Amino acid sequence: MRILLARVLPLILFLLLFTRTSLLAGESRPTSQGDIKKAIERARALRAQTKLVPGVLQSSGLILKAGDVRLGQATLRIDDAKGEGGATYKLSEQYKTAIVEDGKGAQIRYSGTLLLGSDLALLSGELKQTAELKDSDGKEQTATTTITLKLDGDTLTYERTAQRKGEDKPFASEKKKIALHGERPMPMNALLGLAVFVSNAEKDGWKPDPKNALCVPVLDLNWEMVDVGVEPAWVSFDQPTYMEPKNTAAVMRVRVLVGEVGEKGLEVDAPEPQVWRAVQTWALDARAKALAHPAPPDPRIKIEPADAESVDIETPLDLAKIGAALK
């Protein structure tokens, strides 16, 4: 069960925007700290926005299936925060999914609301995940994990509690502070906003060039919601090829590199070839919106794109049918 959840839950979290995963990309791997520093500086300059950029506002949804059996659904929205908590944007993401393996079933319900600044940096967030687990002998257990994130000056505060249904006290709790040393980390699902920033900056028309790559700090929250960290993401843009979907205007590639926030800010290792090959790619239309979703790593599972407004997160999921479909 743990292995299958580890495959599916990250997929749901990031397929809202990602179009596919590719092992090949025609751009040069940065080999020096000079290259990396330039990408960090470009990103800082680009993100120095002072007001809302309308193109960043968007929504998307998906339905996850195995054959004709629904495994789950998800939505993501980036809206005008209208000043809530001092924010410019409000990112709302949610999903519901169910998995059955070896006679054991799990139904997971997640929702997250993140308030972002004009530079897409996280200001605060509330995340909640409820897992309903059912053993092969019919025994059920429900646990809810709640996470609060808050930017206080140059420090990100992270608080987590996890509690089982029917119990008076949490079985796990944690609080920690992450020193940011001047960095402004952004959620992974806000990365498409960078494409809007880049296209708006081109006064004579956008001509994507991977040589003008960006390196930004992103929040890393694992699917189990037990820890949070900040890591570097290498973001580049390129011209579409004949392999992209119809109406593709640009290709956006993202690679999560090895690094951390240290006393000197974002510290990034020059990527080894195996790190560089792990690239996630969007095909973007003229509004910097993703046109398609990738094929999941499990061939039994397929993705159906949907408008966020048409997706009902509470649509019931049938564990018996799911178990039969995933045999």
**pLDDT one-digit tens code per residue, 137-187:** 778 899 999 999 999 999 999 999 999 999 999 999 999 999 999 999 999
Q: Is residue 219 within 8 Å of residue 230, measured between CB atoms?
A: yes
Q: Among 253, 252, 255, 258, which residue's Cα sits nearest to residue 278?
A: 255
Instruction: Name the phi and psi angles at 163, rounded to 5.
Output: -140, 140
Question: Total structural domains in the chain?
Answer: 1
CA angle 31, 32, 34 (to 5 degrees): 140
More confidently predicted of 304 and 70:
70
pTM of the model as a whole: 0.89
DSSP category for residue 249: -
Instruction: Please provide the DSSP assignment of 80-139 as one string.
Output: E-TTGGG-SEEEEEEEEEEEEETTEEEEEEEEEEEEE-TTS-EEEEEEEEEEEEE-TTS-
Q: Is residue 61 within 8 Å of residue 75, measured between CB atoms?
A: yes
The whole-number pLDDT of residue 148 equals 96
Range of the domain at 110: 2-325
CA-CA-CA-CA dihedral for 91, 96, 97, 103, to nearest 10: 140
C-alpha span between 126 and 271 (Å, rounded) = 33
Among the residue ranges 127-131, 133-137, 143-147, 275-279, the one predicted with the least confidence is 133-137
